[in-house]
Amino acid sequence: MGVNKCNYQIDFKQRRIQDEFWTPFQKLVKNVVVPYQQAVLEDKIEGVEKSGAIQNFRIAAGLAEGDFYGMVFQDSDVAKWLEAVAYSLELEPNTELEAYADEIIEIIGKAQQPDGYLNTYFTIKDPDRRWQNLQECHELYCAGHMIEAAVAYYEATGKKKFLTIVQRMADHICNRFGPDKHRGIPGHQEIELALLKLYRATGEGRYRDLAGYFLDERGTEPNFFAEESEKRQWNHFGIDPEDRLYAQNHAPVREQNTAEGHSVRAMYMYTAMADYAAETGDAAMANACRALFNNVANKRMFITGGIGSTVEGEAFSIDYDLPNDITYNETCASVGLVFFTRKMLDLEPDANYADVMEKALYNGVLSGMQLDGKKFFYVNPLEVIPGVSGKLAGYKHVKPVRPGWYACACCPPNVARLPHITSKICLGRNR
């Protein structure tokens, strides 16, 4: 099959979802979740996991003293939150929130290095080790989230400052990676889908082409992760570079037809693949997307749109392995499934994509946040056993109640940015 690209485009400022279900939810995100997460990121909430994420930027910017705190990808929490802020401002202007966001963007700009590089972990802790560990260190992943946030903020406010910052980082990446430059693929996909957004926001084809490069370089020989690991002789998490499935590095993406490995990585990659296929009319890429969608939707997805059946590697396992009580079903994976299916709808208007998108959005994603907007599930089981879940071997990842935050806090801000953009994803083409 070829690609029947949907060529309509609706300015999302021209549309609003207003109904009994989403309006209260959007208000919750705007009035509770965004301020709550701001307070968490600023380490102002007692009794939840410390974040340190905004303070890291202050330190990297030279505005504060101290050590980097948190995961190597801590920056992405700030980025996802800024993206949620952008959608919030779109729904309803808020001068105070916008002023605060501008202030954070100002700090981010100051944390950026003269060559455009932007990542507080390496800037604060380990400047000599930049770009040596793409497999584990998430520099491209964090850059991707910054780009998504900046594009959203630009579209919401018309302000270009943040976009300029991420363009400088994107150009830094363009100058480093690609054919005839350094070889590289991200350990956690995200930059690909972000570069496609940046391409549409700026019209600069080099961002689209770099997204295509990262997609096509994956799964090729020799194994890039083994090559860089051998070269640098140090590890961050200790992820085995020879585990080809974990980051979908087992085959060229056009040849992949079963959903393998870390489910969030997979979804972000499939999203970029579908987007790239729709943008470029690449029929082989579109076919791979259809095969991957069919495998997920028909054989590896829970009735809730939850995906990723095993805690080990937060990953897909095998066809029809759908254990209600010990599944992983990461919130971010369902968020990713919404992105992927939405992009499939751009590729071709098939109701199957819309059905799965809706299923994942209403079930797999929303279960990730408590109705008060202040507690979150990372793992979304379909069955919780009192006294067993969260306690016994095999069930330890299954929390019986939602905590207020996580040391690895990818999910809460991902939920915050997602239902908010229902206006964008439910009607017409989204960016």
Instruction: Indicate which single residue of 42, 204, 325, 358 sits in contact with a second copy (rule: CB under 8 A).
Output: 325
Q: What residues pair up with 254 in beta bridges, in sequence order?
A: none
How many CB atoms within 10 Å of residue 373? 22
Instruction: Indicate which single residue of 61, 245, 311, 354 sits in contact with a second copy (rule: CB under 8 A).
Output: 311
Tracing tokens 């729709």 back to the chain, one arrives at 278
What Rg value do the Cα atoms of the chain yield, rounded? Answer: 20
Sign of the CA dihedral running 179, 182, 186, 189 = negative
**What is the closest distance, in whole angstroms, from the C-beta atom of residue 321 to a second copy in the complex?**
5
Q: Which of 148, 217, 279, 314 is catalytic?
A: 314
Sign of the CA dihedral running 274, 276, 282, 288 = negative
Q: Are 346 and 272 in contact (CB under 8 A)?
A: no
Q: Confirm or reject binding of residue 378 to a second copy (CB under 8 A).
A: no
Asked about 242 being catalytic, the answer comes back as no
Instruction: Indicate which single residue of 61, 382, 388, 427 sits in contact with a second copy (rule: CB under 8 A).
Output: 388
Give the integer Cα–Cα distance in Å for 250 and 313: 15
Please tell me whether residue 379 adopts helix, strand or coil conformation.
strand
Instruction: Indicate which single residue of 71, 107, 163, 326 sits in contact with a second copy (rule: CB under 8 A).
Output: 326
Reading the block at residue 30, the tokens are 């705007």
Comparison of 326 and 361: residue with beta carbon closer to a second copy = 326
Q: x/- site string to a second copy, residues 348 to 367, per CB under 8 A?
A: --------------------
Asked about 410 being catalytic, the answer comes back as yes
Q: Are 407 and 49 in contact (CB under 8 A)?
A: yes
* Ordered DSSP codes for 279-322: HHT-HHHHHHHHHHHHHHHHHSB-TTS-B--BTTTTB--STT--
Q: Confirm or reject binding of residue 400 to a second copy (CB under 8 A).
A: no
In the window 41-70, what residues touch a second copy (CB under 8 A)? Answer: none
Give the integer Cα–Cα distance in Å for 39 and 44: 5
**What is the closest distance, in whole angstroms, from the C-beta atom of residue 388 to a second copy in the complex?**
5
Q: Confirm or reject binding of residue 309 to a second copy (CB under 8 A).
A: yes
Instruction: Indicate which single residue of 230, 312, 355, 372 sits in contact with a second copy (rule: CB under 8 A).
Output: 312
Instruction: Indicate which single residue of 237, 394, 407, 408 sits in contact with a second copy (rule: CB under 8 A).
Output: 394
Q: Confirm or reject binding of residue 223 to a second copy (CB under 8 A).
A: no
Cis ω before 93 (30° cut-off from 0): no
- 62 closest CA partner among 111, 24, 28, 17: 111
Instruction: Indicate which single residue of 158, 203, 238, 387 sits in contact with a second copy (rule: CB under 8 A).
Output: 387
Q: Confirm or reject binding of residue 385 to a second copy (CB under 8 A).
A: yes
Q: Confirm or reject binding of residue 407 to a second copy (CB under 8 A).
A: no
Reading the block at residue 166, the tokens are 């991420």
Q: Confirm or reject binding of residue 229 to a second copy (CB under 8 A).
A: no
Comparison of 280 and 310: residue with beta carbon closer to a second copy = 310
Q: Confirm or reject binding of residue 31 to a second copy (CB under 8 A).
A: no
The residues that are catalytic are 314, 410
Residues near a second copy (CB under 8 A): 309-312, 317-318, 321, 323, 325-326, 385, 387-388, 392-395
